[in-house]
Amino acid sequence: MNNLENKEIELLADFDDVLTVTEMRQALKIGRNKCYDLLTTGTIPSKRIGRDYRIPKINIINYLQNA
């Protein structure tokens, strides 16, 4: 693993393998609108369960590596 990957994993170490929108916002330090924009455009793949989103941690790591 390179240094960037280690930082991303450390950043998300306190979170479960699947995050909620609130947890994703806290991890990335972004606002509500930006969070939903990333999810609805598919920039960060997620699953929608009813009205709620569930975001696999690996998808956030991939987003940070490719951003």
CATH number at residue 10: 1.10.10
- Per-residue model confidence as pLDDT tens digits over 36-52: 999 999 999 999 999 99
Please state, in angstroms and rounded to a whole number, the distance separating the CA atoms of residues 23 and 12. Answer: 10
Encoded tokens for 32: 């509500």
Encoded tokens for 30: 């972004």
Percent of the chain, pLDDT > 90?
A: 72
How many folded domains does the chain comprise? 1
- Structural domain including 47 reads 3-66
**52 bridge partner residues:** 49
Q: Which residues of the chain have pLDDT under 70?
A: 1-5, 8
Quick one: pLDDT at residue 22? 97
Encoded tokens for 21: 């929108």
